[in-house]
Structures are given as C-alpha cells and as structure tokens.
Amino acid sequence: MIPLPMQPDTTFLISHRLYTHRLIGPQFPDPAAVVAHFGAVQGQDTIYSLWALGLRVAGATEAVIEQAIADRQLVRTWPMRLTLHYVTAADARWIVKLNAERTLRGAARRLRELELDEATFARSRRAIESALAGGEPLPRPALYAALEAAGVSPAGQRGYYLMWYHANEGLIAIGPRQDKQQTVVLLDAWLPPAPERTRDEALAELAWRYFRSHGPALAKDFIWWSGLAAAEARAGLEMAKSRLASESVSKETLWFAPPLITEAIPAPVAHLLPYVDEYIVAYRDRDAIQPPAYNALVDSGNVIFHPPLLIDGRVAGIWTRKLKKDRVMIAPTLFRPLAAGEGDALATAADRLGSFLGLTAELALVDSEKPIAP
C-alpha cells in the first residue's frame, strides 16, 4: 500500500478542476448541457459513459441519459484521437470536420493494411446510404450485413474502420441503443441543420470549451485532448485567450475560465468515476491527480485502464461493479488507508451510483495489498 503524498501546491489545480468538471458545485439540468459544456465527452465504453454524463446531471438516471440520445440531443462519433465521444446535435458537424482531414491522413497506413481504399469506401458509402435510407437507426450487425451483401467485408477490424471513416466524412454517427445493440444513423437525416463555423471560429470555440470545462490546464493538455496539430491548437488558444484567465505555476501557464471558485472543497468527498472519465483522461500530465507509483498496483500497469476512485479530487483506488437483480455490488480496491470520514464519503458515492441505476448499492472493500487484475 502506498501512502498518498501531500501536495499543497496542487490544491488550486484540484479544487478548480473538480468544479469545472462539475464533480462539485452546481450540476447541469440535462445531459445535453453537460456535453455542450465540455465540447465533447469521451464515450467509447457505452455503459461507463452513461455514468460519466449522469455524474454531472442533477437527479439523473441511466434512463434519462439514454432518452437524451434517443431524442437526438446527443450522438456519439469520432471527433478526435480515433476515439468515440458524445457531441451535441448543434456541435456534431463542426467538431468532426475540424479534425477529419488530419485524422484520416494519420490512419492511411492502417487503412491500407485493412485493404480499404477509395473504391471500397465508395461501395460502402452507397451500401450505408441505402441501408439507412429510411432515416431510422440501424443496429450495427444489420449494417455489417448490408455491407457484406454489397461486397464489402466488415470482417476483423474492417467494420469498425469503415464506420469510423464514414463518420469522419460526416455521413454517419452512433445513435441510441436498441436492445443493448449499438445503432448507426445517417447524420444529416438524424440531426437537424446547424450553423456552420469557419475554421478559425471552430478552433477558438473548441479551445474555449476545453479550458472552460477542464481548466486549469496547460496548452499541451489541449493539444493532447483535441488531437489537433500543435500549431492549430495553440492558434485556437490564442483566439480564446480574451475569454480566459491564467495562472503561472512552475514556469508553466495554466489557463481556465474565470472566476476562480473561492469556497473550500467539502472534504472529504469521494467519487466513483467511470472508466476514461474526462477528469482523468483529458490531460497530458496526470501526476497531480494520481501519483505515478499507483500504476504499479494494477496488473495493466496503468490506472487509467480502470474506473478510478477519487477522494478529494485525487485517485485513491479503483473500483468494479456487478449488477444483481435489485442491487449493484461495488468493490473498491484502495491504494491507501481511509482517513476519518472517508468511508462515509465513499458510501455516499456508492449510493449515488445506485440511485443512477435504480438499484440498492452495496460496498465490499477488496484487499489492497495485492496487485489488481485489470
């Protein structure tokens, strides 16, 4: 077990990030407001990503998040880093377009390895447009069957990369689940028209959204999160600076949306974050939130591949869940001993997850002296 180091110099960073991520302070009224605040919310794991939104919506349940997707307020697509994110109906097109050319160019070698060329994309595009002509969501297996019938094999990773490619050209997105199956929608048929942005407007807006929702953060954090070329990301930050404030720490500049919060963190406070939550994954340097030594406590070698348990904004362990008929069993594995009051804070966090799922939450602490299997 590794004791949590005291890091008084990071108190400013942690408290403000907890607030800007809406893990403390006022919550959002609905899922679309969460995603609009962030610009994009990482969501490649469907189940955990529902909780990522639910954590930030007042009184949310899993059904509330699913309904927002069904109501076409949100879609999932690949706007950056080859990774699925939630975006709002108003933002989907300009955010995808901002990175699409660079993203497609960067994947050219992998596409060649999969024998996906322009002729194949032309056939798959026609097959997808035909299969989705009715304007309704189509389960992914049915879409793959339509591709197969058109002579385009989705075998192996080809199906995923075909969807990813056509999402980046603005043709499709991921719609609501049907019987736990991922569905695909035609973007222009599924979402209403939205105002276009110039490239400069899009760069400035994405930078503003990032630092508003993730700040205080460094320019290199935005470059990592956005997937943009460094020069373009810095240009976006430059154009957004008039709306931002900054703080110099250790010869680096942290950017954030003013005003700074003045109230103290209601310590102790615990959070059961989902896998790849924005609070953890959206930064190049995560040392302030998670001591690097903790990576040695998980068999995967990196805590980021597990749902993290936060206490007062810092990683203190990981957790798993198992659904029963009327309850959810939550098993936290702690990386350090709990201090006074932290057990109650953890129980409160578990109850909140239970309420989101409509189940009674039960906590079962796991022996933290052993490495944890991923």
| Strand-pair category, 314-323 with 327-334 | antiparallel
List the domain boundaries for the chain.
26-190, 199-256, 265-363
Residue found under tokens 């040392």: 287
As a whole number, the mean pLDDT across the chain is 92
Task: Give the global pTM.
Answer: 0.92
pLDDT computed for residue 250 by the predictor: 80
For 78, 162, 203, 282, 364, the CA distances from 107, given in Å and listed in that order, are: 13, 12, 22, 22, 43
Neighbour count for residue 365 (Cβ, 10 Å): 15
Closest CA to 121 of 168, 174, 78, 166: 166
**What is the mean predicted confidence (pLDDT) over 229-238?**
98
What average pLDDT score do residues 255-277 get? 85
C-alpha 238/C-alpha 241 separation (Å) is 5
**Can you spell out the DSSP letters for 169-199?**
TTSEEE---BTTB-EEEEHHHHS-------H
Given the DSSP bridges, would you call strands 183-186 and 245-249 parallel, antiparallel or unpaired? unpaired
pLDDT digits (tens, 9 = 90+) for 158-169: 999 999 999 999
Helix axes 230-240, 219-226, angle to 10 degrees: 120
pLDDT at residue 249, rounded to an integer: 82
Class of domain 199-256: mainly alpha
Q: Judge contact between 32 and 74, C-beta under 8 A.
A: yes
pLDDT at 271 (0 to 100): 97
Tokens of residue 350, six digits: 């578990």
**Residue 17, pLDDT score:** 94
- For residue range 190-201, what is the model confidence (pLDDT) as tens digits? 999 999 999 999
User: What residues contact residue 177 under an 8 Å CB cut-off, 6+ apart?
Assistant: 46, 66, 69, 183
Q: How confident is the model at residue 366 (pLDDT cuts 50, 70, 90)?
A: low
Tokens standing for residue 214 = 């993730």
- Give the pLDDT confidence of 11-40 residue by residue, as tens digits: 778 989 999 999 999 999 999 999 999 999
Q: How many CB atoms lie within 10 A of CB 341?
A: 13
* pLDDT tens profile 32-73: 999 999 999 999 999 999 999 999 999 999 999 999 999 999
Rounded Cα–Cα distance for residues 78 and 300 (Å): 25
Q: Using one digit for the tens of pLDDT, what is the confidence trace for 167-176?
A: 999 999 999 9
**Does residue 264 carry a pLDDT above 70?**
no
**Nearest by Cα to 163 from 182, 149, 136:** 182
pLDDT at 2: 35
Check residue 259 and give its pLDDT.
Answer: 76
Per residue in 315-332, pLDDT (tens digit) is 999 999 999 999 999 999
For residue 76, pLDDT over 60 is answered with yes
Whether 370 shows a pLDDT value over 60: the answer reads no
The answer to whether 214 touches 37, Cβ cutoff 8 Å, is: no
User: What is the DSSP annotation of 191-221?
Assistant: S-------HHHHHHHHHHHHHHHH-SB-HHH
Decide if 261 contacts 24 (C-beta within 8 A).
Answer: no
Measure the CA–CA gap between 218 and 211, rounded to whole angstroms. 9
**Residue 7 confidence (pLDDT) above 90:** no
Q: Are 276 and 304 in contact (CB under 8 A)?
A: yes
Distance CA 77, CA 187 (A): 10
Q: Which two tokens stand for residue 4?
A: 């949590």
